[in-house]
């Protein structure tokens, strides 16, 4: 696994991020590909539903992000989902073979209600509390500009907690984080014009079952709640 860290700590508008698309897909060595193939077959056999194996965008210019005060341009290639999905089981082999990190791209948001609560979701799969957001997948949304990153985040909010674009009064980027899986996560702050009660009602209109229940954290408890979570989430208070 990789060490979670802050790549960029700055306020920015997601739509201002430049995008440069590159015809570069992450490729495994033959030895690693054989391991991935075997692990993927095990995952498919265990799954009750067909497993998607499309493409995530991946960030190619990570070093430039760490040097700049705010994101200017993201150079994006691609990585197939099966490599991301099998990484937890194969990360020791990935390290032993000195393979490049995936650096797959996601967007996520801290969502503040009008009466001072932050909205998270409780995952249906394992009961973990999670910020709302998800991966940027070319199968779902072709990204050609920063405005498309905003669209991806709006899509995730609608799918996971039923929050629509019209509910959001202010949206701004607050930083970019690096996760243990090499996930590059653009973190935003979203102020919504909904009370906690109204947001609970919106949750009933979500379009995906990934989150089983909404989790509300009072604003004064936000930092402590984030520190109690795992991985990159413990770094989010440093962006506030």
pLDDT, one tens digit per residue, over 126-164 is 899 999 999 999 988 899 999 999 999 999 999 999 999
Supply the CATH number for residue 202's domain.
3.90.79.10
Residues 6+ apart with CB under 8 A from 187: 108, 109, 110, 131, 173, 174, 175, 176, 177, 236, 239
Instruction: Give percent of the chain with pLDDT exceeding 70.
Output: 98
- For residue 152, CA distances in Å to 20, 56, 112 come to 17, 12, 19
* pTM score of the predicted model: 0.93
Structure tokens at 119: 């909205």
pLDDT digit string, tens, across residues 110-131? 999 999 999 999 999 889 999 9
pLDDT of residue 16: 93
* Residue 80: predicted pLDDT: 96
- Predicted local distance difference test score (pLDDT) of residue 72: 79
Q: Which among 223, 146, 229, 161 is positioned nearest to 192, based on CA atoms?
A: 161
Query: What does the block give as tokens for 95?
Result: 């390290």
pLDDT at 126: 87
For 110, the domain range is 5-239
Domains: count for the chain = 1
Q: Which two tokens stand for residue 49?
A: 């539903």
Mean pLDDT for the stretch of residues 186-190: 97
Give all strands of the β-sheet with 55-59 in edge-to-edge order.
Answer: 18-25, 73-80, 55-59
Mean pLDDT, the chain, integer:
94
- DSSP-assigned states of every residue in 12-66: E-GGG-EEEEEEEE----HHHHHHHHHHHHHHHHH-SSPPP--EEEEES-HHHHH
């Amino acid at each position: 696994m990789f060490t979670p860290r802050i790549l960029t700590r700055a306020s920015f508008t997601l739509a201002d991020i430049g995008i440069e698309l590159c015809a570069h897909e992450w490729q495994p060595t033959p030895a690693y590909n054989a391991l991935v193939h075997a692990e993927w077959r095990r995952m498919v056999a265990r799954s009750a539903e067909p497993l998607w194996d499309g493409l995530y965008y991946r960030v190619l210019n990570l070093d430039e992000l760490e040097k700049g005060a705010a994101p200017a341009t993201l150079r994006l290639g691609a990585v197939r989902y099966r490599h991301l999905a099998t990484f937890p089981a194969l990360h020791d082999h990935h390290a032993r073979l000195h393979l490049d990190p995936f650096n797959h791209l996601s967007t996520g948001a801290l969502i503040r209600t009008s009466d001072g609560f932050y909205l998270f979701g409780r995952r249906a799969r394992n009961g973990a509390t999670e910020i709302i957001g998800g991966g940027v997948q070319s199968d779902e949304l072709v990204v050609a500009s920063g405005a498309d990153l905003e669209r991806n985040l709006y899509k995730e909010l609608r799918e996971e907690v039923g929050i629509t674009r019209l509910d959001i009064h202010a949206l701004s980027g607050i930083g970019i984080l690096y996760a243990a899986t090499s996930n590059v996560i653009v973190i935003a702050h979203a102020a919504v014009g909904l009370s906690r009660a109204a947001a609970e009602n919106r949750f009933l209109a979500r379009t995906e079952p990934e989150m089983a229940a909404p989790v509300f954290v009072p604003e004064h408890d936000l930092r402590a709640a984030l520190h109690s979570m795992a991985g990159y989430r413990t770094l989010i208070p440093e962006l506030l």
